[in-house]
Amino acid sequence: MFFRILKKDLKRKKTMNVILLLFIILCSMFAAASVNNIIAVTGGIEHYFDMAGVPDISVAVENNNDEFEKELKALPSVSGIKTEKYFEVSSSRSFIHNGSKLNNFINPARLLADTDMALNYFDKDNNIIKSVEKGTFYATTSFTADTDIKEGDDIIVRLEGKEFTLTYKGYFKGALFSTETSSGPVLLVNSEDHSTLKSYGASQSLFGDPRRLYITSTDTAAVKELAEQYDHVYASTREDHKSIYLYDMLTAYIMMAISIVLMLTAFVVLRFTIGFTITEEFREIGVMKAVGIQSVSIRGLYIIKYLAISVVGALIGFFCSLPLQDMMMKTVSKNMVLGSENGSVMGAVSCIGVVAVILIFCYMCTRRVKKLSPIDAVRNGQTGERFGKKSVIHLGSSKMPSTGFLAVNDVLSAPKRFSMITLIFALCLLIVTLMSNFALTLKSEKILWAFSIPESDAHILDAELIGDMFRGDKDAYKRLMADVSETLEKEGIPGQVSISLGKNCKSYHKDNTADIMYWVTKGETVSEPKIDEGSAPRKSDEIALTGYAMKDLGAGIGDRIKADFDGEEHEFLITGKFSTFMGEGHTALLYKDIEFSSPNSSSGVQIHFDGSPDKATIDKNIARLKKAFDTDKIYNTSDMIKSMTGISDTLNTIKKMMMILTAIVTAMIVVLMERSFISKEKSEIALMKAVGVSDRSIIAQHTLRFVIVSVLACAVSLLALMPVSNVIMNFICSMIGDISGMKCDIDPIEIFVICPIMLILVTTIGAMLTALYTRTIRASDTASIE
């Protein structure tokens, strides 16, 4: 009997059941794909490191330091050392493609000979590269980013007036090479070609002889302790290197968040559907109870129905997730060699989890069955109680037209039902607007403070121009700023010039030791550093620290710490706490008078133009400076931040996908709800037709109800947008550095006009098209309650 009832119900409510099935397919598809993505990236990093042969610890040495290597070999815990030596090309302009100099990467390119490979490197098909054919090269993806370079193209390398031609064989994957757009590329070349190029440009390297040591050791702490005693020597454990793939994981977590919101939306829809079904089927439930069927059995009938729908939906969703997984993993697999042993299994487990959660939710939602009794079948689902509830608005006193009045009255008369719809629409809109805010914020001028850079209009990031600062010349930055100031004067562009420098130094507080980046801004500035607590340093013996740095040292505001600057000990008083991306958040902010030689980091030269020029004037000034300095590496603030974060474009892609998905989900919800309302209100619609109300008025009434709800949803979503955006943005940024107090930027046109109009338009069209079904109801149907 149960299965006959189930079969009848599935046939009778095709539209509702099909839409519910589509929701479950979407939930299962996104859950399976995103869980697989997260597992593939987080677990895949370990798998990738094993395949590449990444050792326990590696050390980057950025100068000729034989003494360090001698002491390293003497450590009893060290059982093996492999060395990779690099030849550095300081500027992208040294590479020429089709007659044009490259300008797509900022940091120096490093060339590695195939005979010096200490790890396993892989081509695009995940094959280990054993050697590189003479006259060819492989490169990491940042070398060809934003270019039309393709396999087989010739690249001319011009060094010190000499030229050498290499053929591009494709990108390669290096486990410890960053593929972010802001990172310098690595080129893998034949050993003979490497020697030739090095002889051409021996003076190219910013550091004497950059190399990386891959160390097998049973005591990584001892290696780190030894490295901290030397300048330009940086030790990183296997675990430390996993931060290279932070942005790959971030995309996966965003997609997981999307699937969770979709599941929440599906549950609200499911709650509405179950509640509506139970309310509509009061007669069937009352009769079943009258003939002795228990509430548990009746609830089981509904659970079996939704079990059938959810199992079918989960199966379809699982198979649909496979191409989605491939699409989501496309970028990640370009950077990593991933194992896929458990991908399908975890996808299946995710789908099973969706089914289980739906069943639990169904069981909770069917509790209302207990309240229905056989007498409800006689009383048309009413308990007989009357509360005399008054309507908020009255037709006699209302100045609205009858159609508008009926629509508003319907919404006010069923607040719980329409509140659920409002919540669903608000969640859908919130996803799109969040993505818009994130994408805009991560290229916004308003977050310049998060890079510990003073207010600026233009940024010179050409490694060739600023390279002398990293060669041990203490006065190099002064000459560079003087050169920029002189150029500004010649071009008739008044402005202030500053430069921000960083240096990793060993720091001490009581029994704690930490490697912290010390950051200082030199030159003329027009803004003070943003301090979260306390105050900015005002003297040469004062300092501000990030929360991470304070935790590293076990110190706080008011404490004194010591730092080793090139063998000279300095003592500082902590006066404040600040936030920054620099140094991954383990950073100290110095007073501008502090001097140190050979910095190992810089955010380039900043220029603040006088007179608060508009964007057009700033771009015009930048164009003139590019010509004067013969470089394309001068950016406005927005473009500079975009290149530093490297995630804005990814979020823009997700935003566009979510706009499409939101339109689809909204349309599905509208169709489901409106068909439910028409089914429930069949007698009322028939009565309205009997008293002469036209089809057009009825369709307008039903459409207007959803318009009202969508407008309310827009208001709710926009009110919640900024608080939610700021909380999530601070969480995302804390994964990159030590950030608090981040405020999201906003595009008013997109947030307050485009997105709401999209939601209201989809809702209006969906409701109007679905409401056309009311034309099939006749005046004679007033006696029908089926």
3-class secondary structure per residue, 366-428:
HHHHHHCCHHHHHCCCCCCCCCCCCCCCCCCCCCCCHHHHHHHHHHHHCHHHHHHHHHHHHHH
Please check whether residue 786 lies inside any domain of the structure. yes
> What pLDDT score was predicted for residue 253?
64
Helix, strand, coil shares of the chain as percentages rounded to 5? 55, 20, 25
Q: Are 332 and 41 contacting, i.e. CB atoms less than 8 angstroms apart?
A: yes
Shared domain for 376 and 364, answered yes or no, is yes
> What pLDDT score was predicted for residue 387?
45
For tokens 């804390």, the residue is 734
Shared domain for 606 and 751, answered yes or no, is no
> What pLDDT score was predicted for residue 384?
46
If one counts the domains in the chain, the total is 5
Shared domain for 127 and 162, answered yes or no, is yes
Shared domain for 130 and 178, answered yes or no, is yes
> What pLDDT score was predicted for residue 765?
93
Please check whether residue 388 lies inside any domain of the structure. no
> What pLDDT score was predicted for residue 763?
92
Please tell me which of 318-322, 421-425, 656-660 the model is most confident about, judged by mean pLDDT.
421-425
Backbone angles phi, psi at 399, to 5 degrees: -95, 0
pLDDT in tens, 160-182: 888 899 999 988 988 888 777 66
Q: What's the average model confidence in pLDDT over 335-339?
A: 66
How far apart are alpha carbons 685 and 683 in whole angstroms? Answer: 5
Please check whether residue 352 lies inside any domain of the structure. yes
Identify the DSSP state of 102. Answer: -
Identify the DSSP state of 275. Answer: H
Please check whether residue 387 lies inside any domain of the structure. no
For tokens 């990236």, the residue is 41
pLDDT category at 138 given cuts 50, 70, 90 is very high
- Looking at per-residue confidence, does 749 or 65 come out higher? 749
Q: Kindly report which listed range (28-37, 356-365, 439-448, 674-683) carries the lowest average pLDDT score.
A: 28-37
How far apart are alpha carbons 659 and 770 in whole angstroms? Answer: 22
Please check whether residue 393 lies inside any domain of the structure. no
pLDDT category at 258 given cuts 50, 70, 90 is low
Q: Which residues, 6 or more positions from 250, have their beta carbon under 8 angstroms from its beta carbon?
A: 647, 732, 735
pLDDT category at 417 given cuts 50, 70, 90 is confident
Please check whether residue 396 lies inside any domain of the structure. no
How far apart are alpha carbons 164 and 161 in whole angstroms? Answer: 10
Shared domain for 622 and 656, answered yes or no, is no
Collect contacts of 148-153 with beta carbons under 8 A, ≥24 apart.
149/97, 153/97, 153/98
Shared domain for 197 and 230, answered yes or no, is no
pLDDT category at 708 given cuts 50, 70, 90 is very high
Q: Which residues, 6 or more positions from 539, have their beta carbon under 8 angstroms from its beta carbon?
A: 591
Please check whether residue 343 lies inside any domain of the structure. yes
Collect contacts of 353-357 with beta carbons under 8 A, ≥24 apart.
353/31, 354/24, 354/27, 354/28, 354/31, 354/263, 354/310, 354/314, 354/317, 355/307, 355/310, 355/311, 355/314, 357/263, 357/267
Regarding beta strands 512-523 and 587-590, do their DSSP bridges make them parallel or antiparallel, or are they unpaired? parallel
> What pLDDT score was predicted for residue 251?
63
Shared domain for 69 and 137, answered yes or no, is no
- Final residue in a domain of this structure, among 624, 644, 664: 644
pLDDT in tens, 192-245: 998 888 888 654 555 556 888 998 888 888 888 888 777 778 888 888 787 777
Shared domain for 253 and 314, answered yes or no, is yes
Q: Which domain holds residue 319?
A: 1-48+244-382
pLDDT category at 279 given cuts 50, 70, 90 is low
Angle between helix 246-280 and helix 14-52 axes, rounded to 10 deg: 160
Of the candidates 739, 23, 745, 26, which has an alpha carbon nearest to the alpha carbon of residue 433?
745
> What pLDDT score was predicted for residue 189?
93
Mean pLDDT of the chain: 80
| DSSP characters over 713-751 | HHHHHHHHHHHHHHHHHHHHHHTTSB--S------HHII
> What pLDDT score was predicted for residue 560?
92
- Looking at per-residue confidence, does 13 or 724 come out higher? 724
For tokens 């989960």, the residue is 314
Token output for 321: 């997730």
- Looking at per-residue confidence, does 229 or 82 come out higher? 82
Q: How many residues does the chain have?
A: 786
How far, rounded to the nearest angstrom, does the alpha carbon of residue 36 sit from its chain's CA centroid?
Answer: 17
Shared domain for 265 and 410, answered yes or no, is no
For the whole prediction, is pTM greater than 0.75?
no
- Final residue in a domain of this structure, among 644, 674, 691: 644
Other CB atoms within a 10 A radius of the CB of residue 157 amount to: 23
Alpha helices in 451-527 (DSSP H): 463-466, 476-491
Whole-angstrom Cα Rg for the chain: 33
The answer to whether residue 696 scores a pLDDT higher than 60 is yes
Shared domain for 99 and 174, answered yes or no, is yes
> What pLDDT score was predicted for residue 785?
45
Q: What's the average model confidence in pLDDT over 498-512?
A: 86
- Final residue in a domain of this structure, among 191, 220, 237: 237
Shared domain for 321 and 179, answered yes or no, is no
How far, rounded to the nearest angstrom, does the alpha carbon of residue 86 sit from its chain's CA centroid?
Answer: 33
Three-class SS state of 765: helix
> What pLDDT score was predicted for residue 148?
86
Q: Kindly report which listed range (618-622, 655-659, 682-686) carries the lowest average pLDDT score.
A: 655-659
Please check whether residue 640 lies inside any domain of the structure. yes
Shared domain for 544 and 489, answered yes or no, is yes
> What pLDDT score was predicted for residue 761?
93
The answer to whether residue 724 scores a pLDDT higher than 60 is yes
Question: CATH no. for residue 232?
Answer: 3.30.70
Q: What's the average model confidence in pLDDT over 50-79?
A: 84
Q: Which residues, 6 or more positions from 233, have their beta carbon under 8 angstroms from its beta carbon?
A: 59, 60, 61, 62, 65, 68, 227
| DSSP characters over 172-219 | EE-TTS--STTSPPEEEE-HHHHHHHHHH-TT--SSSS-EEEEEEES-
The answer to whether residue 8 scores a pLDDT higher than 70 is no
The answer to whether residue 614 scores a pLDDT higher than 80 is yes
Q: Kindly report which listed range (386-390, 735-739, 778-782) carries the lowest average pLDDT score.
A: 386-390
How far apart are alpha carbons 704 and 757 in whole angstroms? Answer: 15
Percent of the chain at pLDDT exceeding 90: 16
Token output for 42: 């987080």
